[in-house]
Structure formats: C-alpha cells, structure tokens
Chains A and B, each alone.
Chain A
Amino acid sequence: MMSANRWMATGNYFTTYRQEQRIFATHVDRLIFALFLVVLFSWPYFIELSTKYMLVIDNILIAVIAVYGLNLITGFAGQISVGHAAFMGVGAYTVASVAGVIGDRHVLITHAWPLMILLSGFMGAAMGLIVGLPALRLRHLYLLMATLSFQLIFQWVIGSMEFFNQGQFMYVGRVHWFSGQVSRSQHYMFWYYALLVTVVVCGLGFRNILRTRYGRSLVAVRDNDRAADAMGMHPGFTKVFAFGLAGFFAGIAGALQAYLNRGAGFETFTLHESIQYLAMTIVGGLGQLTGCIFGPAAIRLLDLQVESLARWAGEILPSSLDLATGLRPLSFGLVIVLFLIFEPRGIANWWRIMRSYVKLWPFRY
C-alpha cells in the first residue's frame, strides 16, 4: 500500500503503476524541490557574484540541458553518441545562420528569441532523427562510428562552407525583454534566469517523457531489445526516437549557447566537446535525471580547479616540461576512469544514498 502519510513516507509502497509514476513520491520531495527553486531564483538578489562566475554558472546550465539529451540516448536508451556537440552546433548555427541571412539585429533574432530557440531544438531533433537512422541497423561500436562520422561531417561543413563563414564567428544580436534591450551589464544575469527556466521546463519534460509509454520503451529497449520487440515495441524506431529527443535538447542548448556567447564559432562544437559531454553524463550518472545536473557541474568546476593547478604548475615547473598542458586531459581522463571503476552509477548514486539516509533517519541506512 502507498504510505498513508505522504509527508512522512520512509519507503516506496505503491499499489498502482500510477502511484509509481509520480514525479514526487512524497509531499516533502515536492516541498524541497519548490524551496530549491526559490533559492535558485532568489540567490542573485542576496549574493553578488562576479561576471566570471555568472558565466561559469550559465555554461553549467547550458551543459545540463545538453546532457539531458545525451543521458536520454546513452543512459536511458542504451545507445552511444560521440556527436552530441555537433547536435548542439546544429542548434547554434540555426540561430547564427538565420542571423547571418536576415541580419543579427533582426526582430526575429532579438525579440522572437524563444521561438528561435525552439526552432533550433526542432532542427536538432530533425538532425537527430537523420543521424539516428543507422540505429535501425547498427549497434554498439558501429553506431558509435556513425555518430563520430556525423561529428566530423559537421565540423567539415561548418569549417568549409562560406554560408557558415567557414567556421569563423557568426554574430547574434542582443535580445530584447519587456524592459527593452538586455544590456551588457544585465546579459549574464538575464541568461541565468532564461537558462534556469529552460532547465526546469526541460527537466520536467524529460521526467514526463520517461513516464509515457515512449519513455518506458526506451528503457525496455536498452535492457533487452529482443524482449521489447516481443512485447510489441519497435526497437529501431525507439532508438531513432531517442536520437530525435537527444537532438532536440542539444539543439536548444546550442541555441542558448549562441545567444549567451552572442554568436556561434566552430571551436565550441568539436569532437573534444562531445567527449566532454559524454564525460559529464558518465560522472553525473547514466540513466539518472539528477545525474544530468551533477555531471556538468562537477566537470565544469573540475575544469576551473585544474586551470588553477595548471597555472601554479606552470609557474614552478620548467617550461620545457610543459606538464601544465597535460594536466587537464590527465585529470579529466583520471576522473572518468575512477568513476567507471569505483562509482559507475555516478554522483547521482551518492545523492540517492544521501536521500535514503535522510528518509530513514533516525534509523540506520
């Protein structure tokens, strides 16, 4: 039976599937989430953060949206993709190329930016569906090669075509809000709120997709595609659907990146970035919604720390050794390997353990 008291439930007792599919198992969960949102929306009124760190936070939020997509495809659907940055690039270049054609200060770019972001999401989804087509036939390493090809083709197309300014920066104008044009001093704070809203909406969308039959079929195909097939699901179409969803989230993230950076440049969407997003997904926790938040935060903050360490190493070590250059990939690789060995369920698992402990307190976990 479902716990009688939905405030104090210490375990999960469900009598119907409907109960199990609830977004928040208890009222406390819902309350904590609401409070957490209040904190996220209100802290800038109480704490003054430098522009540098606002930019870091904005970039983390963009990565969260991108990792929603990658986690869907990798963690929930069990497919592998090393072309996620290219999907983001599709989103970013949708905005940038429209800006290039109609002018980067056109009302469509500056005023109808939510529509442009949505359009970029759909472009990403369309590209995801196309790239996902090989998934009808390919699995594992072969599928990885297909996504890698997409990444390389994307880089080549952007880097070579005049239409995309041969990979050089394409500008996107400043957006307008009800109060007028968002000025430089408001830029990062404005996008913090826009990103936060997007993260919450996409997160709820993500969670809701998983509650639908389409979402559950992703997990079923991941766990055993033959069994899923036998139960009436189409494994191929499910995988293509996963790629489409991943492309949608990546497209949205890419468009937001273009608006935040006020343009799109080729180097933001390289294979290296794709690997970074994969690392965020693994470190955060594959197949866990909370992992989509922990992963990007952990990797981006690790980057900052390693940067400081590299700076320090560069100052005290002879330049001929150039150890500082290797420090970043070394620490990055080490973190992934350590997580894969010691905590394959990612940081999300620590969160799960902590929640269970708190839920059962004062009883022992």
Chain B
Amino acid sequence: MKTKKISIWMIVAAVALMLAAPGSSTAGEVYKTALSLAITGPTSDAGNPYSKGAEDYFRYVNDMKLLGDDTIECTIRDDKYETAITKRNFEEFLDMGIVFYLNYSTGSTLALKRDFDEVKMPTLPASFHAGNIEGSDYIFLPIASYSAQNIGLAEYVVDHHEGGTPKVAMYVHPSAFGREPVKDIEKAIEAGLDIELVETVEHGQDLDVTAMIQRWRSKGVAYVISQTVQSPVATMLKGAKNMDLVAKHFGEKGKMTFLGAHYTGGNDLIALAGDAAENFFWTTSYIVTSEPGAGAEAQLALAQRYGRDEKTANSHNYANGIMVAQVTTEVIRRAKAKGKPVNKENLYQELLEMNGMNAFYPVTTVGPVTYSKDDHQGVDTLQLYVVDDGEFRAEGKPFISEYAEKIK
C-alpha cells in the first residue's frame, strides 16, 4: 500500500516537473519581428540571400544568447514581389503582435506607408528609394538613398574627370525606383554639380544594346551611371565590351566608364557579365567579402556557421539582410538596457536616438548607422568599389555625397 502511495506521488511529481520544464526553458521573453520579401519571383536573386542574412543573424542572436534569456522570433514570409501579398503578410504580422517590421520592395513600402504610420510600426525596408521616407515618421532606410548613391557617383565622376565638363548618360529601371534618382541628379546639376546629363535611357528587356551605345558614343558620352538591377547592366556591359568601348581605367579617353548604384552590382553582376564587368564602378554602404576586414570575416563566419553556400555567403545582399537584423537587435538591446518594455513605441524611440555618441557600428557597413527625427537614412557613408580581376575592390576611402545633402 505504501509503495503504491509513493508511486502515485512520484507520478504526480514527474507530471509537475514535465509541466514546469517548458516554462523554465523559455523563461526569457520572446520579441516578435517579421520580414516580408521576395524569396521567389522577381528580384528573388537579391531577396533570397537577404532573407538568409536576416534569418541567420537572428538565429545567432538567440543561439549566442546576445539578449540573455530573451529571444527574437522573426517570421519570414515570401511575398513574391507582389504588393497585395505583402499587405496580407503585414496584416498577419500585426495580428501576431510584432514590435518591429522589415519590408522589402519600393512598391510595397510606398503602398503600406500609411499603414506603418497608423500602427506606429518602425519599419526598415530593403528599398533605398528616397520617396519611402517622405512624409513618413516610421520608415527608416538602412543606408543612403538611391538618389544619394547616384549623386555620389556623379560627384566621383566630377572629381576624377580630366578636361571640361564630363558627359554622362543614365541607364535606369523603367519605374519610380529608376526614375527618382534622375530627378535628384538634375536637381544637383541645378545646384552646381558640374556634369552634362546627355541622355537618360529607361531599359526594356532588350538583349542587344548596340544602337544605344553607338548613339551614346556619337554624343560623346564618357560615363554611364546605372540605377537598376544587375541583368540589364550585364547586358549593357557585354554590348559595350563587344564594341570595345569599356574603359580600361577610370575616364579612359574615347571609351566609356560604367558605374552603378547598390542593386546593379555585387557578385551576381560579375557572374552575369563575366569579363565585361571588369572596371565597373559600384557604390554601396555595405562591405564586400572580397575586401578583407572584420566585417567580411564576420559575414563569412556567420554563413559558415549556418551552412550557407558560397554564393550566399559572399552576397552583398546577405550582408544587407544581416545589417537590418543587427539594427533590430540593437534597438531591442538598448531598450532592454534602459529597462524599458520592448514594444514598438520604445523601439521607435531607440531608432530616433541612434545618433551622435549613440550611433550604431555594425561591421557589415562602411560607416555608422545614424537615425534621428530628421534623418531617416541609416548609413550615410558610401564606398566605391571597382571590379578588378573578377572581384570587387575598394576604390578610395568611404565618402558622403555632398550634393545629396545640398538638394534636401
């Protein structure tokens, strides 16, 4: 009888322990964040490594207990680059109770801008379109806008061109993403930027650009600034190479020097364009793994830790994804350190205070992340890279676009 009684008590104790166990293992809080992006469909070549970067960094934060017992739960959903799906995803995330949101495309960021403001959701998109932050309190660009990048490239042309006013053509995506920076370059020219914008071409899906390049040559174009994605740039570079018009060094007389903003470059461009990508000048605020440094080492180590392939590990969009996850983690960490509840209001406040002595230095970018009430562009610093022997190499020191500030 006594043995039976003991057995019953042991069972009761075991059940109680089992019930208590999950509680003790998840003693910390879970902070919910979410990311909606194109893992499949158009632009998934960028979205795929981006999602892996964010996913890996959040896993790292949880595995290494960077927030103590607290963890970040980031729900990642594929929106196939469709605004309707992004909207649906965002509504689902709101129901889940997220405190921070990561978005992706220009179209969906603009379409949901008012929603972000209404629900007071701090949001970091992957799109660096300057229009995203116009009239919005809650959208923050991770790095300098496309406009700042393009103007920065134009400034570099002005500074390094020899003899007279440089003749520049722009090769842009047929959308607001491509067109907006052109308007800002025109504003910069009005403000004194000494370039002659000869022509702006909105590309289609042509596989032959011979006529366009011939036309540019006849007009004396020496520099081509691209604001689009990699594949049309690769087509253009191949066409120019076939015509032996790609400059072998910056500003080579009688040839064209090709330059481009964030989404035109990276290893995917080299893979697509091959030799034709040599001497292509590219700007972004992210580090690249072909340039040794702490950021490159950290990026490669993270990719290796979570078993990512070489292509993903070396992608600048992987760095892009890591960076937005780093900013998310940092604002959570700061809110926690101040003893504030981790909610969207406090995380928003932490973003606004991320400047001056409180600037954030992630190793994945070439400069600090700074935000304030009036500054919603994270990393203002840009780095110019040039393709040399099949790899992007840093060209000069990081810089900040002067005219981008002037035309604000």
User: Which residues does A use to contact B, with CB under 8 Å?
Assistant: 50-52, 55-56, 59, 159, 165-169, 171, 184, 188, 261-263, 265-268, 307, 310-311, 314, 319-320, 322, 324-325, 327-328
* Residues of chain B within 8 A of A325, CB atoms compared: 40-41, 44
Nearest CB of chain B from residue A271's CB, rounded to whole Å: 14
Counting chain A CB atoms within 10 Å of each CB, the highest count among B40, B89, B114, B174 belongs to B40
Take A314-B78, A319-B48, A325-B41 as given contacts and tell me if A167 and B175 are in contact as well, using a CB distance cutoff of 8 Å.
Answer: yes
Q: Is the interface of A mostly helix, strand, loop or mixed?
A: helix
* Residues of chain A within 8 A of B95, CB atoms compared: 50-52
Distance in angstroms between the alpha carbons of A55 and B89 in the assembled complex = 10
B111 and A322 contacting across the interface, CB-CB below 8 Å:
no
Considering only CB atoms, which chain A residue lies closest to B52 in the complex? A319
Take A51-B92, A322-B44 as given contacts and tell me if A168 and B83 are in contact as well, using a CB distance cutoff of 8 Å.
Answer: no
Which B109-129 residues have a C-beta within 8 angstroms of A? Answer: 110-111, 113-115, 118-119
Q: Which of B48, B52, B111 interacts with A261 by CB under 8 Å? A: B111
A50 and B92 contacting across the interface, CB-CB below 8 Å:
yes
* Residues of chain B within 8 A of A51, CB atoms compared: 91-92, 94-95
B92 and A320 contacting across the interface, CB-CB below 8 Å:
no
* Residues of chain A within 8 A of B107, CB atoms compared: 168-169, 265-267
Q: Which of B82, B88, B114, B179 interacts with A267 by CB under 8 Å? A: B82
Q: Is B190 an interface residue (CB 8 A)?
A: no
Q: Is B61 an interface residue (CB 8 A)?
A: no
Considering only CB atoms, which chain A residue lies closest to B179 in the complex? A166
Distance in angstroms between the alpha carbons of A314 and B111 in the assembled complex = 27
Q: Which of A56, A265, A307 interacts with B111 by CB under 8 Å? A: A265
Considering only CB atoms, which chain B residue lies closest to A257 in the complex? B84
* Residues of chain B within 8 A of A324, CB atoms compared: 39-40, 78
Take A52-B95, A319-B48, A324-B78 as given contacts and tell me if A307 and B114 are in contact as well, using a CB distance cutoff of 8 Å.
Answer: no
Considering only CB atoms, which chain A residue lies closest to B92 in the complex? A52
Considering only CB atoms, which chain B residue lies closest to A323 in the complex? B40
A328 and B94 contacting across the interface, CB-CB below 8 Å:
no
* Residues of chain A within 8 A of B83, CB atoms compared: 265, 267-268
Closest 7 CB pairs of A and B: A325-B40, A52-B92, A51-B91, A169-B110, A168-B176, A324-B40, A169-B111
Residue interface bits B117-153, CB-to-A below 8 A is 1, else 0: 0110000000000010000000000000000000000
Q: Is B193 an interface residue (CB 8 A)?
A: no
Q: Is B334 an interface residue (CB 8 A)?
A: no
Distance in angstroms between the alpha carbons of A262 and B110 in the assembled complex = 11
Q: Is B161 an interface residue (CB 8 A)?
A: no
5 pairs, A vs B, C-beta closer than 8 Å: A51-B91, A51-B92, A52-B89, A325-B41, A328-B41
A59 and B91 contacting across the interface, CB-CB below 8 Å:
no
Take A52-B92, A319-B48 as given contacts and tell me if A166 and B176 are in contact as well, using a CB distance cutoff of 8 Å.
Answer: yes
Q: Is B87 an interface residue (CB 8 A)?
A: yes
Distance in angstroms between the alpha carbons of A263 and B109 in the assembled complex = 13
* Residues of chain A within 8 A of B113, CB atoms compared: 169
Take A59-B84, A167-B175 as given contacts and tell me if A265 and B110 are in contact as well, using a CB distance cutoff of 8 Å.
Answer: yes
Distance in angstroms between the alpha carbons of A328 and B114 in the assembled complex = 30
Distance in angstroms between the alpha carbons of A193 and B85 in the assembled complex = 22
A263 and B111 contacting across the interface, CB-CB below 8 Å:
yes
* Residues of chain B within 8 A of A165, CB atoms compared: 176
Interface residue count on the B side (C-beta < 8 Å): 36
B78 and A55 contacting across the interface, CB-CB below 8 Å:
no
Nearest CB of chain A from residue B9's CB, rounded to whole Å: 43
B48 and A168 contacting across the interface, CB-CB below 8 Å:
no
Nearest CB of chain B from residue A95's CB, rounded to whole Å: 15
Nearest CB of chain A from residue B348's CB, rounded to whole Å: 18
* Residues of chain B within 8 A of A265, CB atoms compared: 83, 107, 110-111
Nearest CB of chain A from residue B183's CB, rounded to whole Å: 10
Q: Is B235 an interface residue (CB 8 A)?
A: no
Q: Which of A55, A169, A268 interacts with B88 by CB under 8 Å? A: A55
Nearest CB of chain B from residue A194's CB, rounded to whole Å: 18
Q: Which of A188, A261, A262, A307 interacts with B85 by CB under 8 Å? A: A307
B40 and A262 contacting across the interface, CB-CB below 8 Å:
no
A55 and B176 contacting across the interface, CB-CB below 8 Å:
no
Distance in angstroms between the alpha carbons of A171 and B110 in the assembled complex = 9
B94 and A262 contacting across the interface, CB-CB below 8 Å:
no
* Residues of chain B within 8 A of A307, CB atoms compared: 78, 85
Q: Is B309 an interface residue (CB 8 A)?
A: yes
* Residues of chain B within 8 A of A159, CB atoms compared: 174-175
Counting chain A CB atoms within 10 Å of each CB, the highest count among B44, B84, B107, B175 belongs to B84
B114 and A171 contacting across the interface, CB-CB below 8 Å:
yes
Distance in angstroms between the alpha carbons of A56 and B87 in the assembled complex = 10
Counting chain B CB atoms within 10 Å of each CB, the highest count among A165, A188, A314 belongs to A314
Distance in angstroms between the alpha carbons of A267 and B85 in the assembled complex = 12
Nearest CB of chain B from residue A92's CB, rounded to whole Å: 12
Nearest CB of chain B from residue A257's CB, rounded to whole Å: 9
Counting chain B CB atoms within 10 Å of each CB, the highest count among A56, A169, A307 belongs to A169
* Residues of chain A within 8 A of B299, CB atoms compared: none
* Residues of chain B within 8 A of A55, CB atoms compared: 87-88, 91
Distance in angstroms between the alpha carbons of A314 and B39 in the assembled complex = 9
A328 and B78 contacting across the interface, CB-CB below 8 Å:
no
Distance in angstroms between the alpha carbons of A68 and B311 in the assembled complex = 48
B118 and A184 contacting across the interface, CB-CB below 8 Å:
yes
Distance in angstroms between the alpha carbons of A166 and B91 in the assembled complex = 27
* Residues of chain B within 8 A of A171, CB atoms compared: 114
Nearest CB of chain A from residue B226's CB, rounded to whole Å: 19
* Residues of chain B within 8 A of A56, CB atoms compared: 88
A314 and B40 contacting across the interface, CB-CB below 8 Å:
yes
* Residues of chain A within 8 A of B114, CB atoms compared: 171, 262-263
Nearest CB of chain B from residue A13's CB, rounded to whole Å: 47
Q: Is B312 an interface residue (CB 8 A)?
A: yes
Q: Is B203 an interface residue (CB 8 A)?
A: no
Considering only CB atoms, which chain A residue lies closest to B311 in the complex? A320
* Residues of chain B within 8 A of A168, CB atoms compared: 107, 110, 131, 176
* Residues of chain A within 8 A of B94, CB atoms compared: 51
Q: Is B241 an interface residue (CB 8 A)?
A: no
Q: Which of B80, B91, B174, B311 interacts with A328 by CB under 8 Å? A: B80
Nearest CB of chain B from residue A157's CB, rounded to whole Å: 13
* Residues of chain B within 8 A of A261, CB atoms compared: 84, 87, 111
Nearest CB of chain A from residue B365's CB, rounded to whole Å: 25
Distance in angstroms between the alpha carbons of A73 and B77 in the assembled complex = 37
Which B277-317 residues have a C-beta within 8 angstroms of A? Answer: 309, 311-312
